[in-house]
Chains A and B, each alone.
Chain A
Amino acid sequence: MTTNTQPAPLTRRNFLKLGLGALSSLAVLEMGAASLFFMQPRRLEGEFGGVVNAGLVESFPVGSVTEFPDGRFYLVRAADGFLALSNRCTHLGCAVHWQANNQHFFCPCHASSFDQQGDVQNPPAPRALDTFPIEISDGQVFVNTLRAEKRDRYTPEQVTQA
């Protein structure tokens, strides 16, 4: 093959072809982007996600685990403070539930279990339960369920001091 370093002359025909191609590609890109934006994830009014007022600090005795089904989290009061654990199993997203007699969170889908801090007791779950940020003001506990925080395992700094 001979190397052709000479660029093809930009005749009127070539110019129109190139322009047509470029404009069509641009149109396809625009339509594609418009469709993607049109279908992008949406948050509907009244659906899950937002700041939940869980109640007064004193209403949660130390060692208690309280379910908030609408907020999809469990509020755990450990000796040194509060943890808000997402009820979504980190394996495949089923809702875990607290079994008080076994003192663990159990997932009925694939039998994962987690201890009171959300650490994995029994796989297949690959990491500890997600947490939600907690803010305490005026003696009340506010849990922000907009964004779940992922973690590998429990560390003391995840606890919000009461």
Chain B
Amino acid sequence: MSERTPTNQPRRSRLLYTSAAPDDRSRMRAVANNLILHLHPTKVPAPALKWSYTWGLGGISATLAVVLIVTGVLLMFRYDASAATAYTSIQLIETQVLFGSLIRALHHWSANLLVITAFLHLLRVFYTAGFKDGRSTNWIIGIILFLIVLTFNFTGYLLPWDQLAYWAITVGTSLLSYIPLVGQAISDFLLAGPVVGQGALRNFYALHVAVLPTLLILMMSYHFWKVRKDGGISQPKEEEMEENGRRRPIERLTTIPHLVQVEFAAASVLIAGLLLFAIFVPAPLEELANPSHPPNPAKAAWYFMGLQELLLHMHPLAAMLLTGLVLLALIFLPRLDRDAADIGHYFRSAVGRRAAALGALLSLGLIPMLVVVDEWYLDLPALLPGWPTLLSNGLLPLLFSLFGLFLIYALFRWGGRLRHSEVLVGLFSFIFVSLIILTLIGVFFRGANMALVWPF
């Protein structure tokens, strides 16, 4: 078109972008850059780009969310949210629909990977004290985002309507009914009835494809916006950057191309890896849900196996209280640890690094031992026959666990004379590693009848 020369732009394009760019290429770049700079600041501190500081975990999680939305929308075109046809529609996606198996595998594995990357992102922020110095709100938003991701996985789990789905959701919602006073009502509301059925499938579908995505996108936007408002990702305090007694200004790099290139590379590698994995490992699909015969062993989804393992050792109310207390401690962490001097340093200090290692080692030794002792040698309800199980199998193990955590704190704080901030690193290392160990035991070391087995 002759009138579309740079000097003679059509009037309507001026509505979108006013400053005249010399040619098409520059014009497109200007628009793209404008988009990027809505998300990122124009310049970022050079240390923030260091791979070994963030491991790109936030960006990877965001990329996975995009992959999940795209593949999820595609799956919606082919999926029937009805108890009678859901399973068949998944079978059709797997066998008849061109690229159906690949799209479903991409969705499935991305969802599983997102739980891992979001958890690792949380760990990274915890260990680098990224929740300090005015970043407490974003820390809490991050925890809420992690819970949204778990709820996403939980609701998505039911949709294939296979044995795994049916029984994992039965166990999961029964767990809710142990919450005092409101639990049964919440469970009935979620399931739209007393048991998992058509109503539950519809509810979970609506939550999974409408309510949760809206929440996720809102909270993600808030999360990113808050990073900018908090002055970028956490960094060591500027006054520490000294050389020969003179303060050295932190080098600042332009976002384009330095940050954007790294992000683009990470996203490309991630998507290529996901594709390869999804091509070779299709998403699992078990037999059609059978409400009268659970599989043996009937296990929850792997990311809830830590909780399920806890359930084997204590009353559901106690297990939920323990999990809830840990979650509360995480939420209130910015209140518990207000020493902002060590922000941006992994494990707070060299001492903190040793505390983290010691906490992890303690857990590695203690947790498997406790599991084995409780499984084979200790039967509290039988030892205390007159006691209600809520006390013998609930309150006692709960108090024991909390006392154990307090002992670890005391050991580090007064035995090792560590700073409060460093002790918390050790204590939470213990909790995080315990969660991972319980999950591994649940996934690999539990066989038929949920008995302990050797997997190899």
| Contact A108 to B294, CB < 8 A, known contacts A42-B199, A93-B170, A123-B393 | yes
Within 8 Å CB of B58, what residues of A?
Answer: none
Beta-carbon nearest neighbor of B172 in chain A: A92
Across the interface, B173 reaches (CB within 8 A) one of A93, A106, A124, namely A93
**B63-71, B127-135, B184-192, B431-439 - interface stretch:** B184-192
Across the interface, B199 reaches (CB within 8 A) one of A41, A93, A95, A124, namely A41
Within 8 Å CB of A69, what residues of B?
Answer: 292
Interface positions of B from 149 to 197, Cβ below 8 Å from A: 167, 170-171, 173-175, 188-189, 191-195, 197
Within 8 Å CB of A87, what residues of B?
Answer: 292
Within 8 Å CB of A23, what residues of B?
Answer: none
Within 8 Å CB of B194, what residues of A?
Answer: 41, 48-49, 148
| Contact A47 to B197, CB < 8 A, known contacts A95-B292, A109-B450 | yes
From residue B195, how far is it (CB to closest CB) to chain A in Å? 6
Flag whether B390 is at the interface (Cβ < 8 A): yes
Flag whether A39 is at the interface (Cβ < 8 A): yes
Across the interface, B198 reaches (CB within 8 A) one of A44, A49, A94, namely A44
Give complex CA distance A9, B362 in Å: 67
Give complex CA distance A94, B173 in Å: 11
| Contact A72 to B291, CB < 8 A, known contacts A42-B192, A126-B389 | yes
Within 8 Å CB of B293, what residues of A?
Answer: 95, 97
Give complex CA distance A105, B192 in Å: 28
Flag whether B315 is at the interface (Cβ < 8 A): yes
Residue interface mask A82-106, B partner, CB < 8 A = 1: 0000011001111101000000001
Within 8 Å CB of B195, what residues of A?
Answer: 48, 72, 88, 93
Cβ of A72 and Cβ of B451 under 8 Å apart?
no
From residue A71, how far is it (CB to closest CB) to chain B in Å? 10
Interface positions of B from 277 to 296, Cβ below 8 Å from A: 291-296
Cβ of A95 and Cβ of B175 under 8 Å apart?
no
Flag whether A17 is at the interface (Cβ < 8 A): no
Cβ of A109 and Cβ of B297 under 8 Å apart?
yes
Residue interface mask A129-143, B partner, CB < 8 A = 1: 000000000000000
Flag whether A13 is at the interface (Cβ < 8 A): no
Flag whether B72 is at the interface (Cβ < 8 A): no
Flag whether A111 is at the interface (Cβ < 8 A): yes
Across the interface, B449 reaches (CB within 8 A) one of A72, A108, A124, A126, namely A108
Within 8 Å CB of B393, what residues of A?
Answer: 123-124, 126
In this complex, how many residues of chain B approach chain A with their Cβ under 8 Å: the count is: 37
| Contact A126 to B295, CB < 8 A, known contacts A48-B197, A93-B173 | no
Interface positions of A from 38 to 79, Cβ below 8 Å from B: 39-44, 47-49, 67, 69, 72
Flag whether A110 is at the interface (Cβ < 8 A): yes
Beta-carbon nearest neighbor of A106 in chain B: B449
Within 8 Å CB of A49, what residues of B?
Answer: 194
Specify which of A87, A94, A95, A124 lies most central, judged by the most chain B CB atoms within 10 Å of its CB.
A124
Residue interface mask B442-456, A partner, CB < 8 A = 1: 000000111100000
Within 8 Å CB of B311, what residues of A?
Answer: 92, 110, 124
Give complex CA distance A110, B315 in Å: 12
From residue A57, how far is it (CB to closest CB) to chain B in Å? 24
Cβ of B389 and Cβ of A123 under 8 Å apart?
yes
Cβ of B450 and Cβ of A111 under 8 Å apart?
yes
Give complex CA distance A10, B125 in Å: 53
Across the interface, A126 reaches (CB within 8 A) one of B171, B192, B298, B315, namely B315
| Contact A109 to B390, CB < 8 A, known contacts A39-B189, A97-B293 | no
Flag whether B203 is at the interface (Cβ < 8 A): yes
Specify which of A41, A87, A106, A111 lies most central, judged by the most chain B CB atoms within 10 Å of its CB.
A41
Within 8 Å CB of A92, what residues of B?
Answer: 170-171, 174-175, 311, 316
Across the interface, A47 reaches (CB within 8 A) one of B171, B198, B389, B449, namely B198
Give complex CA distance A79, B174 in Å: 33
Beta-carbon nearest neighbor of A68 in chain B: B292
| Contact A94 to B189, CB < 8 A, known contacts A72-B292, A126-B389 | no
Across the interface, A95 reaches (CB within 8 A) one of B173, B291, B448, namely B291
Interface positions of B from 218 to 276, Cβ below 8 Å from A: none
Flag whether B100 is at the interface (Cβ < 8 A): no
Interface positions of A from 18 to 53, Cβ below 8 Å from B: 39-44, 47-49
Flag whether B381 is at the interface (Cβ < 8 A): yes
Within 8 Å CB of A111, what residues of B?
Answer: 449-451
Beta-carbon nearest neighbor of A107 in chain B: B294
Give complex CA distance A51, B192 in Å: 21
Give complex CA distance A1, B14 in Å: 58
Specify which of A72, A111, A148 lies most central, judged by the most chain B CB atoms within 10 Å of its CB.
A111
Give complex CA distance A95, B449 in Å: 13
Give complex CA distance A95, B188 in Å: 18
Residue interface mask B393-417, A partner, CB < 8 A = 1: 1000000000000000000000000
B: which residues have CB within 8 A of A?
167, 170-171, 173-175, 188-189, 191-195, 197-199, 203, 291-298, 311-312, 315-316, 381, 389-390, 393, 448-451
Q: List 26 A-B contacts (CB under 8 A).
A: A40-B192, A41-B188, A41-B189, A41-B193, A41-B194, A44-B199, A47-B197, A48-B291, A67-B292, A69-B292, A92-B316, A93-B174, A94-B294, A95-B291, A95-B293, A97-B293, A108-B450, A109-B298, A110-B311, A111-B449, A123-B381, A123-B389, A124-B316, A126-B315, A126-B390, A148-B194
- Closest 7 pairs between A and B when the two form their complex, measured CB to CB: A93-B174, A108-B296, A69-B292, A92-B174, A109-B298, A92-B171, A94-B294
Q: Can you name 5 extra interface pairs (CB under 8 A) apart from A88-B195, A95-B293?
A: A87-B292, A94-B298, A108-B450, A123-B381, A123-B389
